[in-house]
Structure 1
Amino acid sequence: MTAPEADITLSAHDAPEFAPAQFVRWFREVAPYVHAFRGKTFVVAFGGELVRDGALNALIQDLSLLSSLGVKLVLVHGSRPQVNEQLKLKGYDQQFGSGTEPTSAEALECAKEAAGEIRLDIEASFSQGLPNTPMSHAHIRVISGNFVTARPVGVIDGVDYLHTGAVRKMDIDAIKSVINQSAIVLLSPLGFSPTGDAFNLAMEDLATSAAVALRAEKLIFLTPDNTVHNADGSVDTELAREDADRLLSDGSLDEETSRFLSYASLAVKRGVARAHLVPYPLDGSVLLEIFTHDGVGTMVVEDTLDDLRPATMDDVGAIVQLIEPLEADGTLVPRGRGVIERDVEKFTVLEHDGVIYGCVALIPYLDEGMAEMACLIVHPEWQSTGEGEILLRHTEARARAAGARRLFVLTTRTSHWFMKRGFVRGGIADLPRERQAHYNHSRNSLIFIKKL
């Protein structure tokens, strides 16, 4: 006999998809990002389309989590579809597109009404606190006000843009005072002149101006899906600013994507560390973009973030964390922290956005024209995307530059990976004499050698 539904209670452990080890591993892996972004300023911008499409509540829950993790948030919202709806209801013919257009007195009043409604919706969403929801126990203050001084766009090519404005300056001291008290600043797409006039602002211009003035760590544009794609249709997750500008100049992007990308590029050029185009229809896209290695959107940076560099003593802890699991399962010979500290200058690390996720060591035996590649490791979450190849090519180049003619490795688990990359089977007698003396016969590691 089936129990009544009201009597059935399931815990997370009863759910078939619950995997404690996986959850713990994930939680530990996002910790470096949490530490890196605590106290940093993010400017998050979205158009009225996000509100219209019912995605506001989920976004607010994710932003609430970011705020609780110590991220300082400035929110910038748009209101184009809401303004257009107000204009239509009042019988006006004007409808705003994605570019800069003149704003009539009637359209300005509609913009004020739309901005007020959206602001209240956002404040209401941040005020949630129902039990058993992501907003439970959240106490977040949202502050809005006359932070933005605007100027009229004026007359361009004979066209008077009337009440359409541009950002002249921002009250950065006031904004910093608010976000330093763990409150969130909310900016509506309206600015005010010293004469008391109001101007209709572009959300993208407002958000970029705020991010630049605040020297924000991130400017995040939440878009319907205006990410940049590769030839195979996959999202191009990271663009150097020069590459973004090249795309903009060749005219291959649609108008809306070009608009978002141009502001992202401008923000980075003016000192914002990273600018992101993130698709809001994907649930949790902001969290996925921030707390996963590749993210789900397109990120623009001054230079690409994957960085091969020599290891320093500050990297020893991260290298030990990469090595320990492989030592535990027998893949690598136990070394200990002291050995890593002693040999740290032989290591190269692979870093992304401040997180070390790969390493390799090069040990020279140049009297015999050889070098050993050791501790070639890429974190499991970031394997199968070419990082091992990057480390291998880098090590081969370092070995050649040092004068080595042959590169060798010792392995017990990954022989096929090296064979596919030009290494051939060797024997103990093929090793440098010093390395032969330290060969661990109990491990019986296989030896592979590659001519450089």
Structure 2
Amino acid sequence: MSAVFNFTFVPWFRAVAPYIHMHRGKTFVVGLTGEAIAAGKLANIATDLALIQSMGVKIVLVHGFRPQVNEQLRVKGYEPRYAQGHRITDEAALDAAQEAAGQLRYEIEAAFSQGLPNTPMAGSKVRVISGNFITARPMGIIDGVDFKHTGVVRKVDTAGISHSLDTGALVLISPFGFSPTGEAFNLAMEEVATSVAIALQADKLIFLTEKPGIRVHPTEPESDDNPIDTEIPLAEAQALLSRLPPPELPNDVGFYLRHCVSACLHGVERSHILPFAVDGSLLLEVYVHDGIGTMVVDEKLESLREATHDDVGGILQLIEPFEKDGTLVKRSRTEIERDIENYTIVEHDGVIFACAALYPYPEAKTAEMAALTVSPQSQGQGDGEKILKRIEQRARAIGLQSIFVLTTRTMHWFIKRGFQPVDPEWLPEARKRKYNWDRKSQVLVKKL
């Protein structure tokens, strides 16, 4: 085995390990669009879901079948009909949906049965359980449009799904629901996945979609290296939805976002929009710091916010031990009071457990992240990463292209999170004049 491989594999595995521990025992609901299956992505997605399940995650997979139903209809000489973003499910469309669902269930179960040697699923035994977990009711007539056999979720069989997950099985749900009298209704995959995630109080709702993600703060296309926001606070996602027209097509910005917001509002802490076109996007989002798609996060539970003048004392108390041991440069109360609007904090029960400040250099399209501090009581719980994410969001929102840090002791923490070392001469002129050459701080930069 080559030394180069060892050099890259060991730090990579160490970086991934905390996320493996973090997600063990958690429940993920994954919404898989029919477009992903039509594009030939099912085999790799099944492999990745099997790997995630093998690391202790409970998985509910809800599949869509929009293109497959449309194909069945056209083969039979019918055109698909939609109104207000929903399919009008007449008798022909209901028959096509039932045929498509049966075929897709067969294909998905077959994909999870491939324990071939020399593949990532070698020796795996993924048991798939599906069933009538969804009770539905008719959508009815809306604005004069009769949606016929199109329905909405009335109830989720939480006990049945939880029991199946507890046996170690992957639960597969088709976008169908049944009334108490046995009538079948065609449902939207997105609504089913969201309803299941809320009912289970899942840890994540993940949509594998045609979209690469969402952009809240667009910048000039020519200079925009990152077309999406990797993390959007719930409040910002709600504000974006309020500015958009009602979404009708999957490519509309709000189509999946509204379901992510609904899930977060009802107790699902994190919801994700991922591109199925990127191979391994599930693994990249779940086990890599920056992820690959957009995550909507409910921050009320995390108490992540910008600082106010009432927080000055708590910030001083937090950073003082790190100033004494030389990890941080000493800052006076006057300096912190003057710059308090630059600070972001994590607070639990009235106590500040983490902080950082953002000092922009607009002329250089960059900003310094300074005074990043995490209390020893909460180190290893992700507070540093929450602060970093928020600082990145603040920098993007004002049109900056990078952030940089100066550090003497925590270089490796930043490198694991996408920072690259540069020569101090890289610093903006205004910051270079204040650089302490005796302290010999390492300068690290991260592109946004």
Q: TM-score, normalised by structure 1?
A: 0.69
| 1:380-419 map, 5 Å | 380-384=415-419
Aligned to 1:70: 56
Q: Does 1:192 align with 2:178?
A: yes
CA shift for structure 1 position 381: 2.1
CA distance in 1 between partners of 2:86 and 2:428 (Å): 56
Aligned to 2:163: 177
CA distance in 2 between partners of 1:278 and 1:272 (Å): 17
Of the three residues 382, 407, 414, the one matched with 1:379 is: 414
Q: Deviations over 1:383-432 (max 9, x none)?
A: 5499xxxxxxxxxxxxxxxxxxxxxxxxxx969769853663779xxxxx
CA distance in 1 between partners of 2:436 and 2:256 (Å): 55
Q: Deviations over 1:259-302 (max 9, x none)?
A: 11111111111111111000000000010011111111011012
**Does the CA-based 8 Å contact 1:358-1:379 persist in structure 2?**
no
Aligned to 1:450: none
Aligned to 1:241: 234
Cα pair distance change 1:242/1:446, threshold 3 Å: closer
Cα pair distance change 1:382/1:425, threshold 3 Å: closer
Q: Write the letter of the residue equivalent to 1:243.
A: E
CA distance in 2 between partners of 1:244 and 1:45 (Å): 19
* SS at structure 2 position matched to 1:275: strand
**Does the CA-based 8 Å contact 1:275-1:299 persist in structure 2?**
yes
Q: Write the letter of the residue equivalent to 2:72.
A: Q
CA distance in 1 between partners of 2:289 and 2:380 (Å): 8
Aligned to 2:255: 259
Of the three residues 271, 289, 295, the one matched with 2:291 is: 295
Q: Write the letter of the residue equivalent to 2:291.
A: G
* SS at structure 2 position matched to 1:131: coil
Q: Does 1:424 align with 2:424?
A: no
Q: Write the letter of the residue equivalent to 2:50.
A: S
CA distance in 2 between partners of 1:295 and 1:41 (Å): 18
**Does the CA-based 8 Å contact 1:149-1:169 persist in structure 2?**
yes
Of the three residues 282, 286, 304, the one matched with 1:286 is: 282
CA shift for structure 1 position 238: 0.7
CA shift for structure 1 position 160: 1.7
Aligned to 1:124: 110
Q: Does 1:354 align with 2:382?
A: yes
Q: Write the letter of the residue equivalent to 2:373.
A: T
**Does the CA-based 8 Å contact 1:349-1:358 persist in structure 2?**
no
Cα pair distance change 1:445/1:103, threshold 3 Å: closer
* SS at structure 1 position matched to 2:87: coil
Q: Write the letter of the residue equivalent to 2:147.
A: Y
CA distance in 1 between partners of 2:372 and 2:80 (Å): 63
Q: TM-score, normalised by structure 2?
A: 0.70
CA shift for structure 1 position 129: 1.1
Of the three residues 20, 35, 40, the one matched with 2:26 is: 40
CA shift for structure 1 position 19: 2.0
| 1:329-340 map, 5 Å | none
Q: Does 1:27 align with 2:30?
A: no
CA distance in 2 between partners of 1:154 and 1:175 (Å): 28
**Does the CA-based 8 Å contact 2:304-2:387 persist in structure 1?**
no
Aligned to 2:67: 81
Aligned to 1:397: none
CA shift for structure 1 position 303: 2.6
**Does the CA-based 8 Å contact 1:75-1:186 persist in structure 2?**
yes
CA distance in 1 between partners of 2:440 and 2:10 (Å): 34
**Does the CA-based 8 Å contact 1:83-1:111 persist in structure 2?**
yes
* SS at structure 2 position matched to 1:19: helix
CA distance in 2 between partners of 1:347 and 1:262 (Å): 33
* SS at structure 2 position matched to 1:91: coil
Cα pair distance change 1:306/1:62, threshold 3 Å: farther
Structure 1 gap segments, 5+ residues each: 1-12, 312-322, 324-343, 361-372, 387-412, 428-443, 448-452
CA distance in 2 between partners of 1:99 and 1:52 (Å): 21
Aligned to 1:276: 272
Q: Deviations over 1:186-245 (max 9, x none)?
A: 000100010000000000000000000111111000011251133225221111112112
CA distance in 1 between partners of 2:78 and 2:140 (Å): 23
**Does the CA-based 8 Å contact 2:81-2:87 persist in structure 1?**
no
**Does the CA-based 8 Å contact 2:241-2:258 persist in structure 1?**
yes
* SS at structure 2 position matched to 1:88: helix
Q: Deviations over 1:292-350 (max 9, x none)?
A: 11111011012397959989xxxxxxxxxxx9xxxxxxxxxxxxxxxxxxxx9998229
**Does the CA-based 8 Å contact 1:226-1:260 persist in structure 2?**
no
Percent identity of equivalent pairs: 45
Of the three residues 28, 37, 40, the one matched with 1:54 is: 40
**Does the CA-based 8 Å contact 2:408-2:440 persist in structure 1?**
no
**Does the CA-based 8 Å contact 1:277-1:299 persist in structure 2?**
yes
**Does the CA-based 8 Å contact 1:47-1:223 persist in structure 2?**
yes
Alpha-carbon RMSD: 3.6
* SS at structure 1 position matched to 2:62: strand
Aligned to 2:346: none
Q: Write the letter of the residue equivalent to 1:302.
A: D
CA distance in 1 between partners of 2:5 and 2:212 (Å): 34
**Does the CA-based 8 Å contact 1:219-1:272 persist in structure 2?**
yes
Q: Write the letter of the residue equivalent to 1:151.
A: R
Aligned to 1:114: 100
Structure 2 gap segments, 5+ residues each: 308-313, 316-326, 328-352, 355-370, 389-406, 442-448
Aligned to 1:433: none
CA distance in 2 between partners of 1:424 and 1:43 (Å): 50
* SS at structure 2 position matched to 1:421: helix
Aligned to 2:311: none
Cα pair distance change 1:376/1:65, threshold 3 Å: closer
Cα pair distance change 1:349/1:60, threshold 3 Å: same
CA shift for structure 1 position 353: 7.8
